[in-house]
């Protein structure tokens, strides 16, 4: 009783202090009203406040890769009490990110606690509900479990970290599950697919709806220059693998990573989880850099995976498509899935992959109803390929 009285007294005291000194109320930001989204930011002494977000109108912007249509910053308008505001109208249902720039200094929206990280960059996020984005929301029930797992890596000679999703009901019985090895792209890490890719939410919803088989999803740190996400451990010393050039054998082999995947990660999963240890129950996919690793790994270990997915990637000009695909064809497979839109900067590579599959008379599924080289594309790809696995 005494503790309760003290707590009530503290609340009354602090409330009176805030009222006395006029502490401003917390802003509602973002405010989602149907398809209109309003962002608010309190900065009474600011001269210029801009909003940067992937839900804003696109403009043609010059980049090192040529002119591209990219969302352009917009100026927010100052209202009462130094509150700056901008309303974006007709925002389609989807997953979005944004930051705010105050007099040239980039910062997060302090009124939105939903913050995600993409490599070294952090942004706020929100979801506009709708037919497309409902799969990105938390499932109403029957949610799976996401674990951050440290495992011994002989390839690196040290422990590394990966993310592992187990479906609802895992471990309650002796049931064994198939495994989907899902790789991120350049600049990503083991947190990329669970956060930016909404992998757990997508799988939870698809499984709950009976559209996908219950499966374990392993999301390794596919960056050979790091052992874990940068907020956990600093990158390894030395140059990035990207500095070697797109045609480098070391880039395509992933350095020590693909060796780690085959000799360390898969054996660890199959000795620590209730899994079906057969080719028919293994799938692998990757986006961009992870797509390169998928091509390399399946060509050299065609006996491991029955389901193969390449997202926003294909063969770079110096690779021999037929030589890389022949081992996969000879070993046999159940699904070869390619997801890439024509506006994707990796489209030329994907074209070479598709041409190679046609010339090798290899059955495959192509999905091109996506946009550019971004997470909007890869979330949709995951939603499309997952229901096709382990059928």
Say whether pLDDT at 11 is over 60.
Answer: no
d(CA 94, CA 85): 21
Q: What are the strands of the beta sheet with 307-311, ordered from one edge?
A: 145-153, 158-166, 216-220, 179-183, 282-287, 307-311, 335-339, 365-367
Q: Using an 8 Å Cβ cutoff, are 376 and 94 in contact?
A: yes
Dihedral, CA atoms, 290, 346, 137, 203, nearest 10 degrees?
A: -40
Backbone angles phi, psi at 109, to 5 degrees: -80, 110
Does the global pTM surpass 0.85? yes
Q: Read off the pLDDT of each residue in 244-258 and give the average, rounded to a whole number.
A: 69
Looking at residue 134, the DSSP 8-state letter turns out to be G
Say whether pLDDT at 381 is over 50.
Answer: yes
Looking at residue 275, the DSSP 8-state letter turns out to be B
For residue 103, what are the contacts with CB-CB under 8 A and spacing of at least 6? 46, 47, 48, 49
pLDDT digits (tens, 9 = 90+) for 79-122: 999 999 999 999 999 999 999 999 999 999 999 999 999 988 99
How far is the CA of 156 from the CAs of 244, 279, 304, in angstroms?
19, 25, 22
Mean pLDDT for the chain?
A: 90
What's the burial of 70, exposed, middle or buried (CB within 10 Å: 0-12/13-18/19+)?
middle
d(CA 227, CA 149): 12
β-pairing, 179-183 vs 282-287, is: parallel
């Amino acid at each position: 009783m005494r503790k309760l009285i003290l707590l009530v007294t503290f609340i009354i005291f602090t409330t009176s202090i805030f009222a006395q000194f006029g502490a401003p109320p917390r802003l509602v930001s973002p405010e989602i009203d149907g398809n209109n989204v309003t962002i608010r930011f309190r900065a009474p002494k600011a001269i210029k406040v801009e909003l940067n977000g992937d839900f804003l109108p696109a403009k043609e912007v010059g980049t090192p890769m040529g002119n591209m249509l990219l969302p352009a910053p917009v100026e927010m308008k100052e209202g009462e009490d130094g509150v700056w505001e901008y309303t974006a109208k007709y925002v389609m249902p989807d997953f979005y990110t944004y930051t705010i720039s105050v007099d040239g200094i980039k910062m997060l929206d302090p009124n939105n606690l939903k913050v995600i990280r993409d490599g070294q960059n952090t942004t706020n996020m929100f979801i506009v509900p709708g037919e497309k984005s409902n799969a990105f929301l938390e499932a109403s029930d029957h949610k799976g479990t996401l674990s951050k797992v440290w495992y011994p890596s002989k390839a690196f000679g040290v422990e590394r970290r990966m993310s592992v999703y187990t479906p609802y009901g895992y471990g309650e019985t002796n049931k064994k599950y198939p495994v989907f090895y899902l790789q991120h792209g350049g600049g990503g890490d083991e947190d990329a697919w669970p956060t930016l890719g909404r992998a757990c939410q997508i799988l939870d919803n698809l499984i709950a709806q009976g559209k996908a088989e219950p499966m374990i999803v392993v999301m390794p740190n596919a960056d050979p220059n790091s052992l874990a996400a940068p907020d956990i451990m600093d990158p390894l010393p030395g140059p990035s693998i990207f500095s070697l050039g797109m045609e480098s054998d070391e880039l395509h082999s992933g350095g020590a990573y693909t060796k780690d995947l085959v000799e360390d990660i898969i054996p660890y999963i199959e000795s620590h989880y209730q899994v079906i240890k057969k080719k028919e129950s293994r799938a692998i996919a990757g986006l961009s850099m992870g797509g390169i690793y998928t091509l390399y790994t399946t060509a050299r270990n065609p006996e491991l995976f029955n389901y193969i997915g390449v997202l926003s990637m294909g063969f770079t000009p110096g690779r021999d498509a037929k030589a890389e695909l022949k081992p996969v064809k000879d070993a046999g497979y159940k699904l070869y899935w390619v997801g890439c839109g024509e506006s994707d900067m990796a489209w030329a590579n994907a074209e070479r992959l598709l041409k190679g599959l046609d010339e090798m008379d290899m059955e495959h599924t192509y999905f091109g109803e996506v946009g550019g080289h971004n997470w909007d594309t890869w979330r949709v790809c995951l939603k499309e390929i997952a229901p096709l696995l382990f059928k």
